[in-house]
Amino acid sequence: MSGARLRQDFQLLRAAVEEAAVLARRYYARGAEVWEKSPGNPVTEADLAVDELLKKRLLGGRPDYGWLSEESPDDGSRLERKYVWIGDPIDGTRAFVRHHPEFAIAAGLVCDGEPVAGVVANPATEEIFAAAGGRLRVNGKLQQPPPQAKLSSARILGSRSAIERACGVMEGCEFFTVHSIAYRMALVAAGRYDAAIAMSPTSDWDIAGAHALVRAGGGCVTGSDGVELTYKRPTTRHHGVIAAKPTLHGQIIGRLTVGVASTG
């Protein structure tokens, strides 16, 4: 992918997500109609409105690209496209409904299954995390890669009980809860936390855009099984996610391996 094309696509992506954040903020302020797609799986009119806006802006600018989102039917045509937009109009819908500022709009561009650009916006906190070409910016300010962290003192975004069931007791670590996995990964990319871990399954739209952020911040992203993630597969599901700087990521994977061996 040429540098000029990537810059143009990134500008399109960032503008679309910024516009979507304004729209989502209006719904967040006044409230939105809520129903269930399936038992325990809520969706709101804001999800659908943001999804429609992102699809219109992104495919309107690049009609030859593929499209995948949580709120759009997946007809499989994306698998035939070199470039694919992947988005989650509201990641953390439960937080959105409860008026907790822990949800995000996440969108990314993948090229042959590899994330090359991503934007994650938290409309409630008015944060925009954006990355392309190995550069990460938060609200327009270029970010320096955060330093390596040690497992013995890591600040981890994720469920302590779920992580320690898989890894054993993580002495010295601090655990924090944020509902949106995309927002968690963005916070790790920006160096505010050391790792984001989800042991439960994740989907392409949850993590593709944020994956680009973590890479730009010098970090690694794999499934909770340690397998590299790619986004050009018939299935959109992954075995959780681990996002962290390389050294810490390796230590976490090592603990997972030991945990699996000890319970096998």
- pLDDT value, residue 258: 54
Non-local (6+) Cβ contacts of 77 within 8 A are 66
Helix H, strand E, coil C: the string for 60-126 is HHCCCCEEEECCCCCCCHHHHCCEEEEEEEEECHHHHHCCCCCCEEEEEEEECCEEEEEEEEECCCC
- Both 137 and 158 in one domain: the answer is no
Dihedral angle sign, alpha carbons of residues 187, 189, 190, 193:
positive
Same domain, 130 and 234: no
User: How many domains in the chain?
Assistant: 2
The overall pTM is greater than 0.85: yes
The angle that helices 181-189 and 204-216 make with each other, rounded to 10 degrees, is 0
Q: Domain containing 180 — which CATH number?
A: 3.40.190.80
pLDDT tens, the chain, 264 aa long: 778 899 999 999 999 999 999 999 999 999 999 999 888 889 999 999 999 999 999 999 999 999 999 999 999 999 999 999 999 999 999 999 999 999 999 999 999 999 999 999 999 999 999 999 999 999 999 998 777 888 989 999 999 999 999 888 888 999 999 999 999 999 999 999 999 999 999 999 999 999 999 999 999 999 988 899 999 999 999 999 999 999 999 999 998 865 544 444
- CA dist 116 and 6 (Å) reads 8
138 and 8, same domain (yes or no): yes
Q: Is 44 found in the same domain as 80?
A: yes
Contacts of 98 (CB under 8 A, 6+ apart): none
CA-CA distance, 245 to 231, in Å (whole number)?
21
Same domain, 117 and 175: no
Q: Are residues 159 and 229 in the same domain?
A: yes
Residue with tokens 């590899």: 114
pLDDT of residue 252: 94
Task: Please enumerate in sequence order all residues whose Cβ is within 8 A of that of 35, keeping only pairs 6 or more positions apart, or say none.
Answer: 42, 43, 44
Out of 114, 142, 170, pick the residue that ends a domain.
142
134 and 158 share one domain: no
Instruction: Choose one of 142, 172, 188: the last residue of a domain.
Output: 142
The terminus-to-terminus CA distance of the chain in angstroms comes to: 44
Whether 114 and 206 map to the same domain: the answer is: no
The pLDDT assigned to 225 comes to 86
Q: Phi first, then psi: what are they for 14, rounded to 5°?
A: -65, -45
The residue segments making up the domain with residue 229 are 151-263
Based on the fold, state whether residues 96 and 168 are members of the same structural domain.
no
**Same structural domain, 86 and 124:** yes
9 lies in the same domain as 137: yes
End of a domain among 117, 142, 167?
142
Phi then psi dihedrals of residue 101, to 5 deg = -80, 50
What pLDDT score does 257 carry? 66
